Chain A
Amino acid sequence: MSSFVLMTATGLGLAALYFLVASGLSLIFGLMGVLNFAHAAFLTLGGYTAWLVTDATGSLVLGIVAGVALAAGAGALTESALLRRMHGDHVPQVLLTVGLLLAFTALVRAVFGSDARPMPVPRWMTDVTSIAGAPIPNSRFVLIVAAVVVYAALALFLARTRYGLIVRAGVENRAMVTALGIDVRRAFTLVFAIGTGLAALAGSLVALVQDVVSPEQGMSLLIFAFIVVIIGGLGSFHGSALAALLVGLVQQYANFYALTGMGDLVVVLLLAGILLTRPQGLLGRRLA
C-alpha cells in the first residue's frame, strides 16, 4: 500500500511537470499553429538561471522568479522579432524553433560545459513527509502545488479576462478574431511569453527534483510534453491537464509494477493508440 501511495505521489509530481510544460505548448500550438521546439530551450534557461541566481543570492525563490521573468521576456522577444515574420507558414516556424533549440543548447554547453552541475536544493525539499506509511519527498508536493496553482490561475485567466477570451476564440478560429477588429498578434506574444515562463518554472523545478542542471534536461522533458499535448488535444488547455495526469500516473505505475523502462514505452503506445483512434486528442477540437 505504501508503495502505491509513493508511486501515486511520484506520478502526480511527474504529471505536474508535464502539465507545466504541456499547457504552454498546447496553447501556443492551438492559437498560433506553432510547434515550439524551442520550448526546451526555455526549460533549460529556467533551470540554469535558477541555479545561477540561487547560487549568487542564496534565495531559491528569487532564482525561480528570475528564471521565469527572463524566459517570459525572452519568449516575448523571440515571438515578436522572429516568429512573427513567418505567420501562417507552419513548417518554417517549426524549423525556426528547431534551430533556436539547437543553437541555445549548444550555447549552454559552450558556456557551462556538458556536465550536469549540482543544484542547491533547500533541506526541507529533500526531507520526506510520511503519508500512509509512504515516505514522500517534499519536493513532490512543491511540484503538485505549483501545478495546481498554475492550473487555477490559467483557468481564471482564460475564463475571466479579455485576453483569455481572445485566446479561447483564437484557438478556435484565428482569422475570425482578426475579422472582429482584434489585433491577435498581441495575444500571440502574450501566450508565447506565458508558455515560456511556465517552461522556465518547470525547468527550475526539474532541477530541484533531480538535484542537478544539465543542458539536455529540456529535451527529454519536451518529448514527453509533446506526447501529453497530442494526447490531450492540441490547443486544449484542459486536455493537457487531463493528459498530463494520465501520462504521469501511467508512466509511474508501469515503471514500478511492470518493468523499469516499460513506463516510457507504454506512454508511446498510448500516443499511437490515441492517434489511431481519436487523432484530435482527448479534448481537442481541431484535427492536425
Chain B
Amino acid sequence: MTSAVAPVATTGEQSPVSAPRERTGRRAYRWGIGIGLIGLAIALPYLPIQIPIVFNGPINSPGPMHLLSLMCVMAAVAMTYDLLFGYTGLLSFGHGLYVALGMYTTTVLLAETDLGLGATLLVVLGVGLVAPLALGAVCLRVSGIAFAMVTLAFAQAGAIFVIRDPYDFTGGELGRAMTYEKLPSKLVGVFNAPYRYWLALGLLLLVVVVVRWALASRPGRVWQAIRDNEQRVAVLGLRPYSFKLLAFTLSSFLATLAGAVYALVVGGAHAEVTQATFTLGLLLMAVLGGTGRPYGALIGGMVYTYLVHRLGSLSSSVQELPAVIRAPLMEPLLLLGTLFVLLVLFLPGGLVSIVERPAPDLLRRLRAALRIRASGEGQ
C-alpha cells in the first residue's frame, strides 16, 4: 500500500494528466464562482425579484426571506452532520440534541436570567464545547451500530427531559417563545426578516469555512482515513478515539451554535428538534446532497428544507388540486422519503454525484463492489 491516507476524491483534482496551469485556471474559475455566489446571496435582500412558484412573492419580502434563512440554518447543520457521518464515518442518531441545546439554552437564558444576548451566546458556546466533550467521551467508547444507538439514547433522554419539563422551563411540547425585549431591534419583527437572513447566511458561511478548513487540516485527513479504515489508522500509531472525539466535539459545537441562530431566526425554541425524526431528517439531507462531498450536505440541506416548507404551502394555496395529489403534497416527507429510498437504491452518491464525473479508479472500485453484491456474501 503506497499512501496510507488517501485524500477524498474531489471534482477535477483527481485526473492525473492536467497541467499545473490548467489546474490553477480551474481553481481560479471555482473561486470566482464561489465569490459570485456569496455576493449574490448577500445582495438578495436588495433584489425585489419575483420567481413564480418557487417563491411566494418577491425574494426580498418577509416570506421568502424567512424560508431562505431556514434553508441557510439547516444547510449549516447538515454540513456539521456530514462532517461526522460523511467524512469521519460516525453515524449518529443524536445530532439534534446539540441543535436543541443551542436553541433552548439561548431561549431559556434570555427568558429566565438577566443575561443579555452577548453573554447568553457566550454561555451557549461554552455549553457547546463542554457537552459534546462529555457525552462524546462516553459514546465513542463503542463504535458502529452501538455508537449510533447510544447517541440515540442520549438524544432521547434529552427529548424526554424537554417534553416532560420537570423543572418547568422548557415549555414542554409547545416550546418556548423568545424574549424579544432583550434582542437587538434589528432582529425583531416581520419586516426585519432580511437581518435574520443575513445572520443565518453568516452562520452558514462561518460553518462552511470552518468545516472546509478542518477537513483540509491534518486531523481532517485522519478523520477520512478513520472512515475508510479505522484499523489501519490505529496500526499507524494514531489513536482513533481522540480524533473521533475531536470531530464529534467540533461538529456538535457548530451544531449548538447553529441552534442558537435557529432560535433567533424562528423566535424561540420548539420541541421538534429534540425528536428522532429531526436527526433522521439531517441524515436524509446529507445523503440527498451526497455524503462526503464538499458541498453535498449544504445542497441537500437547502433542497430538503425548501421542499418541506414549500410543498406544504403550495398545496394549501392551490385550491383545485384533487385530494389524491393534495394529501401527499401536504406531507412533504412522503415525497422526500420515497426520493430518499430511490436515491439509496440507485444513486448512492446523492445529487452532487450527478454533476461530478467519477474518477476512473472510482469506477473500477464501484464495479468490484457491485460484484460483491452479486456474489451475495462478500465478507
Contact = CB atoms under 8 A, between A and B. Distances in A.
A165 interface: no
Most chain B CB within 10 A, of A89, A91, A101, is at: A91
B325 to A, nearest CB: 10
Given A100-B337, A103-B334, A103-B340, A174 B153 contact: no
A106 B148 contact: no
Interface string A68-99: 00000000000000100111111110111011
B166 interface: yes
A129 interface: no
B134 to A, nearest CB: 12
Contacts of A116: none
Interface string B127-154: 0000000000010011111111110111
Given A99-B344, A103-B341, A91 B372 contact: no
A94 B344 CA distance: 10
Contact of A268 (B91, B157, B283, B328): B157
B154 A103 contact: no
A260 interface: yes
A85 B149 contact: no
A272 B153 contact: yes
B334 A106 contact: yes
Nearest to B333: A106
B328 A107 contact: yes
A104 interface: yes
A95 B344 contact: yes
A174 to B, nearest CB: 7
A133 interface: no
Contacts of B379: 88, 174-175
Contact of B164 (A87, A260, A275): A260
A122 interface: no
Contacts of A37: 280
A204 interface: no
Contact of A89 (B143, B333, B373): B373
Given A98-B280, A268-B157, A272-B150, A288 B372 contact: no
A96 B339 CA distance: 11
B234 interface: no
Contacts of A104: 337
Nearest to B147: A288
Interface string A176-206: 0010000011000000000000000000000
B146 A96 contact: no
Given A111-B327, A261-B160, A275-B142, A85 B373 contact: yes
Contact of B334 (A107, A184, A260): A107
Contacts of B276: 219, 223
Interface residues of B, number: 50
Contacts of A131: none
Contacts of B142: 275-276, 279, 288
Nearest to A261: B164
Nearest to A40: B276
B246 interface: no
Contact of B277 (A100, A184, A219, A260): A219
A255 B142 CA distance: 29
A138 B91 CA distance: 42
B255 interface: no
Interface stretch (A45-53, A150-158, A226-234): A226-234
Contact of B331 (A106, A175, A287): A106
Most chain A CB within 10 A, of B138, B146, B166, is at: B146
Interface of A: 29, 35, 37, 82, 85-92, 94-96, 98-107, 109-111, 174-175, 178, 184-185, 219, 223, 226-227, 230, 234, 259-261, 264-265, 268-269, 271-272, 275-276, 279, 287-288
Given A90-B145, A95-B340, A271-B150, 8 more contacts: A85-B345, A99-B338, A103-B333, A174-B377, A184-B377, A271-B153, A272-B150, A275-B150
Interface of B: 91, 138, 141-150, 152-154, 156-157, 160-161, 164, 166, 276-277, 280-281, 283-284, 287, 327-328, 330-334, 336-338, 340-341, 343-345, 348, 372-373, 376-379
Q: Which 4 A/B pairs are nearest by Cβ-Cβ distance?
A: A103-B337, A99-B340, A102-B337, A106-B334
20 contacts: A37-B280, A86-B344, A88-B377, A96-B341, A96-B344, A99-B284, A99-B338, A99-B340, A99-B344, A100-B337, A102-B333, A110-B330, A219-B277, A261-B164, A265-B157, A272-B153, A275-B142, A275-B146, A288-B145, A288-B146
